Amino acid sequence: MPRRLAPLGTVSVDEFMRRYWQRGPLLIRNAFPDFEAPIGRDDLFALAAGDDVESRIVSVARERWSLHHGPFDCDALARRARRNWTLLVQGVDLHHDAAHALLARFRFVPDARLDDLMISYAVDGGGVGPHVDSYDVFLLQAQGLRRWRIAPPGERALVPDAPVKLLAEFEASDEWLLGPGDMLYLPPGWAHEGTALGECLTYSIGFRAPSRHEVLGAWLTDRGDAPVSGADPRFGDAGTRPSAHPGAIPPGLRDQLAQWIGGWRPGRAEIDDFIGRFLTEPKPGVWFQRPTGRVSGETFARRVAQRGLNVDRRTRLAYRGRTAFINGESVALVRETGAAVRRMSDERGLPPGAVRETPVDSALLALLRTWFDAGWIHFSDPR
């Protein structure tokens, strides 16, 4: 059965994906009617004080920009000047259940494309200057007012030696003032500048767009770390004559290395396995809380049947064909596990009764128990 997708204000998800996604910007007034920010200023300050949270402050004074990285002291943040600075906290969805739940509204785009929720708190005049992102972004106004100015893609130079990537020239084609619940969508490459009018909170929902260089670099690193199967030939040059030019690269050495490199052809299965693991690799610094106390096999099966399971907000879970990918690992799916794991990936959990205490589900329970012990999934809270 197709999922029912809530519209974005008066724009249906189908219309948005057909007309605007990766095509052009869209201002959506009242995208989230009666929106109440689940994370306020004090919550954000508390997150920015954590060692495991990526945060930074961007400020400007007399046209001179500065950048400072967290963690920050909460009281010091509250005492800062009331103009021209912004606190940005990355990956809030990894640390806050309500933030993670908000991202579910954007699951009309596959999870493999979703990056994170960044929240910015700005005082009057605060912003990060005119800049360009290389990914799609929804800019949801959570509290207060922010003025957005945008310009279409084009060749643009950056301000030299600036601590942040500022455009040297920026001429806006459109300008809007956004209030709580309003949202602006921008495809990659659109220049934009947001300025706070008084105190404000803006939620930025960003999407992953891996570059070819990034993917190939990760692929080569992965292959370099992979264990060697079978024989691993090593260059040899027995019987060669003494070298008259020791500084020159020997033709035989060059030819052998070139043959190894040019003759390497990874198979489709090898590539697909890497892609799944690459797209589900957790962000740097992510760690999982393992369950405390020992749960017997019988107790685990009974609780799964009675309470169901939720996927941890930090877990990246996806599937392709008969393979599941979870937090950078791949798992072959068999008949007894495939349907449930695919459902868990689509729904971010399994309801009570989806897994039963029967021999038929023993293979599935064993797999789920492994993920449970790693802290990747949890029992659903009893209602």
Pairing of strands 64-69, 55-61: antiparallel
Distance CA 101, CA 122 (A): 23
**pLDDT value of residue 360:** 63
pLDDT of residue 2: 54
Q: Which residue has the tokens 């929902």?
A: 205
**Burial (CB count <10 Å: 0-12, 13-18, 19+), residue 242:** exposed
- Return the pLDDT at 336: 84
Res 359: pLDDT: 63
What lies within 8 Å, CB to CB, of 213 at 6+ separation is none
**Please, are residues 149 and 201 in contact by the beta-carbon 8 Å criterion?**
no
- Both structure tokens of 365: 């329970």
Task: For 286, list phi and psi in degrees, rounded to 5.
Answer: -75, 135
How many other CB atoms sit within 10 Å of the CB of residue 46? 15
Q: What DSSP string runs through 152-205?
A: -----PBPTT-SS--BS----SEEEEE-TT-EEEE-TT-EEEEEEEEEEEEEEE
Instruction: Give the per-residue pLDDT at 295.
Output: 87
- For residue 115, give the nearest of 268, 279, 262 by alpha carbon: 279
**Residue keyed to tokens 């204000």:** 9
pLDDT value of position 249: 95
| 362-373 and 297-307 helices, crossing angle to 10° | 100
If DSSP codes are grouped into helix, strand and coil, which group holds residue 361?
helix
Q: For each successive 10 residues of the chain (383 residues), what is the average pLDDT?
A: 77 96 97 93 96 95 94 94 95 94 94 96 97 96 98 94 94 97 97 97 96 94 81 89 92 94 90 96 92 88 94 96 97 91 96 80 92 96 70
Note the pLDDT of residue 26.
Answer: 97
pLDDT attached to residue 168: 95
Residue in the structure block whose two tokens are 């954000």: 44
pLDDT at residue 77, as a whole number: 94
